[in-house]
Amino acid sequence: MLLTIDVGNTNFTFGIFDGKNLLTTFRMTTKQLRTSDEYGISIIDMLERNQISKSDVQGVIISSVVPNVMHSLTSAVIKYLDITPTIVGPGIKTGIRVMTENPKQIGADRIVDAVAAYDLYGGPALVLDFGTATTYDLVDGKGAFVAGVTAPGIRTSAQALWNEAAKLPEIEIKKPSSILAQETISSMQAGLVYGQIGQTEYIVKHMIKESGYEKVKVVATGGLGRIIANETDCIDIYDPILTLSGLRLIFEKQK
């Protein structure tokens, strides 16, 4: 079995694959720094709760955009699983060429998403990840990462509202029954959700137009991506496990 670990700005997302089959996923908050022992014990505990023995795990691959957790996390994998993990970074085989001005500035998670979208759905592809940031990454028909747009994520925008405006409450992020809001909570929900839908449609339209590519497959992922994907025709596919699948594919390419 393969343990895939996606370290994002908000959460760690763990996935266990048996071949191409994703058996289970579990999450851990990124905000709380832990020692290698705390990471190790938590990983073993979550594996056991899913009826998976640590001896069943034969490989580990990690993608991270949070550098300060990597020493403890890598040490935990080595100590508790007796495996040296594969780290997505410079020098690793991905099958994706990064054609931007400074390839090293492209986050590992974006490369992983691009690998998954291109390998699973073909190219050209536009990959949308609705996470802490909302990212739009363009892959051409030959598997090259050619451009990317970065915008605040839905939850990040929401937190800015209730942290900076004293009278605005913390709310659940969901589509309200109508955009014609008549009270504060639905007003905020309308602004966040419909605002993200409008942003998504505009950016997707103009990235495809300026690229000149035809028949671009638009693939979305990320925790809040389903809300947006259900409300717009500009997204062709919503794949909630796109990043974990990309990690599996990259691990297999190392062979």
Each residue's pLDDT, cut to its tens digit, for the chain (255 residues) gives 999 999 988 889 999 999 999 999 999 988 788 999 999 999 999 999 999 999 999 999 999 999 999 999 999 999 999 999 999 988 899 988 998 888 888 889 999 999 999 999 998 999 999 998 999 999 999 999 999 999 999 999 999 988 888 888 888 899 999 999 999 999 999 999 999 999 999 999 999 999 999 999 999 999 889 999 999 999 999 999 999 999 999 999 998
Q: Centre a 10 Å sphere on the Cβ of residue 98 and count the other Cβ atoms it contains.
A: 18
Half-sphere exposure of 194 (CA within 13 A, CB side): 12
What confidence score (pLDDT) does residue 104 get?
A: 82
Residue position matching structure tokens 């990317």: 148
What confidence score (pLDDT) does residue 36 get?
A: 94
Of 255, 6, 254, 237, nearest in space to 118 by CA: 237
Domains of the chain from N-terminus onward: 2-87 (3.30.420.40), 97-241 (3.30.420.40)
Residue 188: exposure state from Cβ atoms within 10 A (0-12, 13-18, ≥19): buried
With b for 16 or more beta-carbon neighbours within 10 A and e for fewer, the 123-148 pattern comes to bbbbbbbbbbbbbbbbbbeebbbbeb
What confidence score (pLDDT) does residue 45 get?
A: 94
What confidence score (pLDDT) does residue 255 get?
A: 81
With b for 16 or more beta-carbon neighbours within 10 A and e for fewer, the 57-79 pattern comes to bebbbbbbbeeebeebbbebbee
**Catalytic one of 6, 18, 56, 109:** 109
CA dist., res. 14 & res. 62, Å (int): 9
What confidence score (pLDDT) does residue 84 get?
A: 96
Q: Phi/psi class of residue 57: alpha, beta or left (left: φ > 0; alpha: ψ in -120 to 50)?
A: beta
What confidence score (pLDDT) does residue 103 get?
A: 81
CA dist., res. 152 & res. 121, Å (int): 26
For residue 121, give the H/E element and its range.
helix 108-121
Cross-strand bridge partners of residue 13? 6, 27
Helix (H, G, I), strand (E, B) or coil at 61: strand
8 A C-beta contact, residue 240 and residue 225:
yes
Among this protein's residues, is 239 annotated catalytic?
no
Cross-strand bridge partners of residue 148? 137
Residues of the chain by 3-state class (helix, strand, coil), percent to 5: 40, 25, 35
- Model confidence, pTM: 0.91
What confidence score (pLDDT) does residue 154 get?
A: 92
